[in-house]
Structure 1
Amino acid sequence: MNKMKIIVPAFIIMVLLQWYFPLKAVWQSEHILATGNEYKFRTMPVDPKDPFRGKYVTLNYEATTVPIDEADAWQTISEAYGIIQLDTEGYARFVALQKTQPASSIDYMKVKIDNIKAGEDPKAIVALPFKRFYVEESKAKAVEDLYRKHQRDPNSVTYALVAVKGGEGQLKDLQVNGTSILEHVQVE
C-alpha cells in the first residue's frame, strides 16, 4: 500500500514532465514568431533531399561574413552573438560579433563561427541557426524547381523571413520577390 502512494504520484510527475518540455519548446518558438522583429536574410541556392526528415530547401545566406577586430582573439571561440542591422536595401546583415550577450535594446542572434579569416581586414564566417525550409511533401518538387528558377533569375530576389527575439531566430517563410514561395507554387 505504501509503494502505491509513491508510485502513482511519481508516474503522474513523469507524465507531466514528458509533456512539459516539448510544449515549452513549441511555445518558445511560437512566441518568437509572434512577437520577434522580422528580418530578411538574402539566400543563395542549394537544395538537397533528406529521406529521413522529408523534403526541404536548404538555405545559404549572403550575410555570413562579419568584420572582427583581431583574428587571433577569435580563433578559439565557436559561438558568438551577431549584431543585426539593415543594409540600404532593407536586408539583414551582421555588423559585429560579441563574445558576450548584448544589451536587450539591440537585435542580435546567437551564431556559430565556422571560420576566421586573418589578414588586413579580419573576418569571421558564421552559420545561421536556420538552414532548412521544410515543405509539405506534395509541394516539395514544385517549391524546389521554383526556388532554383528564381535563384538563377537576376531580376528575382529570394530571402528568408526570420523572426528574432532575445538572441534566438525562427524561420517564418521563404520569400520570392516579396511573396511567400508557397503562394507562388499555388499560382503557377
Structure 2
Amino acid sequence: MNRRSKVLVAAIVVALAQIGFLSSAIYSRAALLRNGEEVTLRTVPVDPHDLLRGDYVALSYDISRIPVDRVRTSRPRDNDVVGAVYVRLKRGENHAPAQIVGVGLGAPLDEPLGANEIDLNGTSFDRWQTGLETLNIRYGLERFYVPEGEGRAIERRLGERSFTIRVAVGKEGDAQIKALYDGDVALYSEPLY
C-alpha cells in the first residue's frame, strides 16, 4: 500500500469515527426524549445570549435550592464538596410541578420508588458545613435555547405568569428538557433530532 492510500484510509477511519460519535450523541438524546418518564418543574427564567448558539433562557428551578433537612442519606464531612445528588420527586397530577420526596448525597435513596416517583440526578458544588441550610443543585437543565430575539419576551412575561419545563428523565436519572410552558401553553418543544 503506498503512502497516498494509507492517508486516504486514515482519513476515512477518522471521518467514520466522528460520524459515529455524533450519531451516538444524537441517538441517546432522542431516545431519552422519546422514552424517558416525564416530570414537570417550576422555573424562573432569565435571558442571556450565547454568541455561538443564540438566545437561551437560563433556568433555575424551585428544586435548585433544597433544604438540608430533606437529605435522607449520610452526609459528607465538614468542608467536603457535596458532589453527586439524587433528588427523589413525586410527579404532580395533570402536569402540576413535581415535589421533593427526599435527597440522597453520593448515592440514591435506598427505598424503592413509590407511585409517581422519579429520581433525578444533580450535582452540588457546595462545601458541606455544620449549620448549612440549603444545597444549590445543578441538573444539566439550566439552559433552554429559543429562537433569536424571543428570550427577552419570555423574561418580561415571567413576572406575570408561571413558567414550567417538562423534562424527560431516564432510568438512571439523567434528564433532557422536552418543552417550555407558559401556564398551559407550550412555547417551545424540543424536536427528537
TM range (shorter): 0.7 to 0.9
Aligned mates of 2:104, 2:135 — CA distance in 1: 9
Conserved in 2, the CA contact under 8 Å of 1:71 and 1:118?
A: no
Aligned mates of 2:9, 2:78 — CA distance in 1: 50
Aligned mates of 2:24, 2:48 — CA distance in 1: 30
Aligned mates of 1:37, 1:44 — CA distance in 2: 22
Identify the structure with the greater helix proportion.
1
- Pick the aligned partner of 2:156 from 132, 148, 156: 148
User: Given the alignment of the two structures, is residue 160 of structure 1 paired with residue 165 of structure 2, yes or no?
Assistant: yes
1:186 corresponds to which residue?
A: none
The one-letter amino acid paired with 1:145 is: A
Of 16-25 and 43-52, deviating more is 43-52
Where structure 1 has 5 or more consecutive residues not aligned to the other structure, the ranges are: 184-188
Aligned mates of 1:28, 1:74 — CA distance in 2: 37
User: Given the alignment of the two structures, is residue 99 of structure 1 paired with residue 106 of structure 2, yes or no?
Assistant: yes
Q: Number of aligned pairs? A: 175
Cα RMSD after superposing both structures? 2.9
Aligned mates of 1:53, 1:78 — CA distance in 2: 31
In structure 2, relative to structure 1, the CA distance for the partners of 1:5 and 1:27 (3 Å cut) is: same
- Aligned to 1:62, the other structure's residue is in SS state coil
Aligned mates of 1:45, 1:146 — CA distance in 2: 8
1:2-21 residue pairs with structure 2 within 5 A? 3=3, 6-21=6-21
User: Given the alignment of the two structures, is residue 176 of structure 1 paired with residue 187 of structure 2, yes or no?
Assistant: no
- Aligned to 2:27, the other structure's residue is in SS state helix
In structure 2, relative to structure 1, the CA distance for the partners of 1:112 and 1:75 (3 Å cut) is: farther
- For each residue in 1:87-130, what CA deviation from the matched residue of structure 2 results, as whole angstroms up to 9, or x when unmatched? 66632244212313668x743232120324642x8542211211
Identical counterparts, % of pairs = 23
The one-letter amino acid paired with 2:125 is: D
Where structure 2 has 5 or more consecutive residues not aligned to the other structure, the ranges are: none
TM-score of the two chains, using structure 2 as the length reference: 0.74
Shift of 1:164: 0.5
